[in-house]
Amino acid sequence: MTASYLFLLAVLFYFITWFLVVRDVRASIANPNTKSKPKKYYFYAWFLALVLHIFGLHYPLLTGEAMTLSFIALGSYVMWFLSLILFITTIRRKVESLAIFILPFTMLSIVATLVIGSDTHTVINMRSGLGVHILFSLLAYSVLMLASFQALLLATQNKQLHTHQNSGFIRTLPSLEDMEHLLFRFIAVGLALLSIALITGFYYLDNLFGSGIAHKTILSIVAWVVFSVLLFGRWKYGWRGKTAVRWTLGGFIVLMLAFFGTKFVQEFLLDTPKHSTAQSTLFIHNLG
């Protein structure tokens, strides 16, 4: 079985998961007063999709080839981490509604990997210090991306509650207080992971403020400051609602520019020569 078959099966099971989640959400909207909870059969399909997705991403290593880490592959990794975190969170909390928005992007990232492919190859030893840095960078970005989706849902929920236009979909979400609590939990976890990513980056990578990568380092630090200020404001002044949403989205946009911006410019706008040492080095720094 090749990586393409693994990816196609992953898309299939992600779609089955998405369909079952939509079905359950629609059932909850149609019968809001029912006390019986729908059985979450989609967990089985979701788990299989995650397994197939990660095996597809690591298939080159399993066959002794170089591991592909390009802009497209990086996006697929991020969406896998994001789907995994949401899967784990959904086991204990009623946040499956987020899957309606996130799973289509996960499927799109896999399709992009199949259609566009990649020519950039960089072998990373995940047991090394650099591997630890990359792992925590991906985790931090995934958790904070999930927080941004949560912030958008929170903003919609808050607006509809204040305008007395509470739609059926919004009624399937947890209470506003629980949504805010979950948002700040995501942010706290994401900030901790981002802190580790920055620390390991400064420790294991050389010249983080050098030419060509200084702006990425600065943007990552700015994002760290934004999320830190938000958590401090929540603790000291009780920030919530629109303030929390704006700071969350602002911090994520800055982090997105640091995480993906230069890699996108290199691969699609500047057409940087592939397989060069300089490009691989810049890409590794992009992960931080």
Q: What is the pLDDT along the chain (288 residues), one digit of tens a residue?
A: 688 899 999 999 999 999 999 988 888 777 766 655 656 789 999 999 999 999 988 877 676 665 556 667 778 888 998 899 889 888 887 778 888 888 999 999 999 888 876 544 444 555 556 777 877 888 898 899 989 988 998 888 888 877 766 666 676 677 788 788 889 989 999 999 999 989 988 887 776 666 566 777 888 999 999 999 999 999 999 998 889 999 999 999 999 888 776 555 555 555 554 443 333 333 344 444
Give the DSSP per-residue string, 127-166.
TSHHHHHHHHHHHHHHHHHHHHHHHHHHHHHHHHHHTT--
Distances in Å between the alpha carbon of 248 and those of 81, 115, 134, 146?
Answer: 19, 33, 23, 11
Residue finishing a domain among 123, 144, 164: 123
The reply to whether 280 and 137 lie within a common domain is yes
* Tokens linked to 127: 């047991």
Q: Where are the strands (E) in the chain, listed by range?
A: none
The reply to whether 108 and 241 lie within a common domain is no
Give the separation between CA 49 and CA 63, rounded to whole angstroms. 21
Residue finishing a domain among 123, 145, 180: 123
The reply to whether 52 and 184 lie within a common domain is no
**Gyration radius of the chain over CA positions:** 20
The reply to whether 115 and 177 lie within a common domain is no
Give the count of domains, the chain.
2
The reply to whether 106 and 131 lie within a common domain is no
Residue for token pair 């898309």: 11
Q: Which pLDDT score, from 0 to 100, does residue 51 have?
A: 96
The reply to whether 20 and 99 lie within a common domain is yes
How many Cβ atoms from other residues are within 10 Å of residue 267's Cβ?
Answer: 20
Residue finishing a domain among 72, 102, 123: 123
Q: Is 118 helix (H, G, I), strand (E, B) or coil?
A: coil
The predicted model scores a pTM of 0.75
Q: What are phi and psi of 240, to 5 degrees?
A: -160, -175
How many Cβ atoms from other residues are within 10 Å of residue 88's Cβ?
Answer: 10
Q: Which structural domain, as residue segments, surrounds residue 85?
A: 1-123
The reply to whether 142 and 283 lie within a common domain is yes
* Tokens linked to 232: 């401090």
The reply to whether 3 and 80 lie within a common domain is yes
The reply to whether 177 and 288 lie within a common domain is yes
The reply to whether 254 and 131 lie within a common domain is yes
Helix (H) or strand (E) holding 168: helix 168-171
Give the separation between CA 54 and CA 50, rounded to whole angstroms. 6
The reply to whether 137 and 268 lie within a common domain is yes
The reply to whether 80 and 139 lie within a common domain is no
